[in-house]
Structure 1
Amino acid sequence: MRKSADWMSIADERILEALRENESGTPTSLSENEYVRFSRPHLHQRMTKLERYGLIRFLGNGVYVLTEEGQQYLDGELDAATLEPDDED
C-alpha cells in the first residue's frame, strides 16, 4: 500500500502512474490522457509540487520524468510524508 502525504492529491497519483507507464510526459499530454482527467493548468501546478518533493524531475520543454523516489513511492517502498520540499522560488 502507498503511503501518501497530506500535501498530496488524487491528481498526484494519476500523474505518477502515467509517467511510469509512458516514461515521460507534459501537463498537456497528461491532460489528454483518458485516465488522468485533470486540466492542463491543474496538472502543471501539481507537477511543479511533485518536482519540489523529488518525486518527478523536470527535463525542460515541459517534459517531466519519474525519479527513483517516485518509483519507490509507487511501489509502496517510500513514505511520501518523510519527503522535504526544495525551497520555493
Structure 2
Amino acid sequence: MGHIPEWMKLIDERILEYLDENGASFPFEISSDLSMTAPRNRVRRRCWVLVNAEFAVPMREKLAHERYAIKFDIADRGGDYLDGEFDASLIQPLPAPRPPHATRPGWWAGFG
C-alpha cells in the first residue's frame, strides 16, 4: 500500500481490506465490522468513490419481493492496490453527477 493519495481516505483502505477478506458486502456489514466509528452512510459514500476509481464494483442483490440492494466487492485494481502493485495517485476519480431530482432548475437561480 504505502502512501495514500490525496483523493483517498484511511477508511477507503479499510473498506478495501474488508472486501478483500470477506467478499461482497453491504455497507452496513462493512460499517458494523470496522473498529472505527464509521456510519453506514459514510461507508456507502466511500464505496461509491471506490467504484468511480474502479477499485470496487457494485452488485445488485435481490432481497425479497422484487426489492434489491447494492453490495460492493473489490475489483482487480483494488486488489492490486492492496498488494502494492498499483499506484492510486495515478488516478483521480470523477465525482458522480448530481441526480436530476437534486438539481434546481435554472429559473430557481435566476438564470432563465
Fold similarity call, TM over 0.5: yes
User: What's 2:79 paired with?
Assistant: 71
Q: How far apart in 2 are the matches of 1:85 and 1:69?
A: 13
Per-residue deviation, 1:72: 0.2
Measured on the aligned residues, the alpha-carbon RMSD in Å equals: 1.6
Correspondent of 1:82 among 87, 90, 104: 90
1:63 maps to amino acid = K
Larger Rg: 2
TM-score norm. by structure 1 comes to 0.88
User: What's 1:27 paired with?
Assistant: 27
Structure 2: stretches of 5+ with no match in the other structure: 61-68, 98-112
Structure 1: stretches of 5+ with no match in the other structure: none
Task: Evaluate the alpha carbon distance shift between residue 36 and residue 63 of structure 1 in structure 2; reply closer, same or farther with a 3 A threshold.
Answer: farther
Number of matched pairs: 89
Q: Summarize the alignment of residues 21-60 of structure 1 with structure 2, pairs less than 5 Å apart.
A: 21-35=21-35, 37-60=37-60
Q: Deviations over 1:28-53 (max 9, x none)?
A: 11111043541101101111111100
Percent identical: 29
User: Per chain length, whose mean CA-contact separation is higher, i.e. which structure has more relative contact order (CA < 8 Å, sep 6+)?
Assistant: 1
TM-score norm. by structure 2 comes to 0.72
**TM superposition outliers: structure 1 runs of 4+ over 6 Å:** none
